[in-house]
């Protein structure tokens, strides 16, 4: 493979579990600087993935970093699992389940029909454990201090919310959605709509616009080929 990182490249990375998006950018930046024997190189990502999520990250280098916003605005597709019957403060497994709910009343038709209710334009509240800013401060910093924060709902679009399989308490799904969608919040709201509770237990991003996970590299594989 041949790259011109300073002129600008688009790199598709399959982010692994527990890596932050910043970890990926930092690792690539340092590897490129070392390879080219330079002190500075612009590297950025187009759309954060949580540490407990895996999948597609679009990385831009050099002059291509000017196009990051264009990539960030593209629709995204995710697959994952929602676990019914309990909620967590972070809406995923970054924190432990702390409230439990009945699930005996939930059946397959309810699950499928409830998913359809979320399709289209909806208003969603970002999780308190998120990088969204409130008065200039990241929400997760306020959450870790135990502060109670009033978070405004934002309009998003769920293009489709498909239930792939049901093996209670777990549900496997695919979601295609607009920029700014939090799948963790979708899982939490989904549990409420079922008169129960739910949290996101697994997440993988499989596409960003026309960019596919099948065309991506594991980060260490890519670095070895720089």
- Residues with catalytic function: 50
As beta bridge partners, residue 22 has: none
Map 130-194 to HEC letters.
Answer: CCCEECCEEHHHHHHCCCCCCCCCEEEEEEEEEEEEEECCEEEEEEEECCCCCHHHHHHHHHHHC
Indicate if 76-208 has the same CATH topology as 10-73+210-224: yes
Is 176 or 146 the better-scoring residue by pLDDT?
176
Is 141 or 125 the better-scoring residue by pLDDT?
125
What is the rounded (10 degree) CA torsion for 66, 67, 68, 72? 150
Residue 176, both tokens:
């295609």
Query: Measured between alpha carbons, how far is 119 from 53 in angstroms, rounded to an integer?
Result: 22
Query: Measured between alpha carbons, how far is 224 from 146 in angstroms, rounded to an integer?
Result: 43
How many CB atoms sit inside 10 A of residue 118's CB?
18
Query: Measured between alpha carbons, how far is 56 from 108 in angstroms, rounded to an integer?
Result: 30
Mean pLDDT over residues 131-152, rounded?
A: 58
Q: Write the pLDDT tens digit of every residue in 123-136.
A: 998 887 655 555 55
Query: Measured between alpha carbons, how far is 23 from 156 in angstroms, rounded to an integer?
Result: 28
How many CB atoms sit inside 10 A of residue 69's CB?
10
The percentage of the chain sitting over the pLDDT mark of 90, rounded to a whole number, equals 81
Superfamily of domain covering 76-208: Pseudouridine synthase (3.30.2350.10)
What's the mean per-residue pLDDT of the chain?
92
Q: Which CATH architecture has domain 10-73+210-224?
A: 2-Layer Sandwich (3.30)
- Domain map (residue ranges) of the chain: 10-73+210-224, 76-208
Q: Write the pLDDT tens digit of every residue in 2-21.
A: 789 989 999 999 999 999 99
90 pLDDT more than 70: yes
């Amino acid at each position: 493979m041949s790259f011109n990182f300073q002129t600008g490249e688009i790199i598709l990375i399959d982010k692994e579990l527990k890596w932050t998006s910043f970890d990926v950018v930092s690792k690539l930046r340092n590897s490129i600087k070392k390879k080219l024997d330079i002190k500075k190189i612009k590297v950025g990502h187009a759309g954060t993935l949580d540490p407990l999520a895996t999948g597609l990250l679009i990385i831009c280098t050099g002059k291509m970093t000017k196009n990051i916003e264009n990539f960030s605005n593209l629709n995204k597709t995710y697959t994952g699992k929602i676990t019914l019957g309990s909620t967590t403060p972070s809406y995923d497994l970054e924190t432990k389940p702390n409230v439990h709910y009945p699930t005996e009343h939930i059946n397959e038709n309810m699950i499928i029909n409830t998913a359809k209710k979320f399709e289209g334009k909806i208003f969603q509240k970002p999780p308190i454990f998120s990088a969204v800013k409130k008065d200039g401060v990241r929400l997760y910093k306020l959450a870790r201090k135990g502060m109670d924060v009033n978070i405004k709902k934002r309009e998003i679009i769920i293009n489709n919310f498909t239930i792939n399989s049901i093996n209670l308490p777990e549900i496997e799904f695919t979601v295609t959605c607009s920029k700014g969608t939090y799948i963790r919040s979708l899982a939490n709201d989904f549990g409420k709509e079922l008169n129960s509770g739910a949290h996101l237990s697994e997440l993988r991003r499989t596409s960003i616009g026309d960019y596919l996970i099948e065309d991506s590299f594991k980060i260490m594989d890519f670095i070895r080929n720089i």
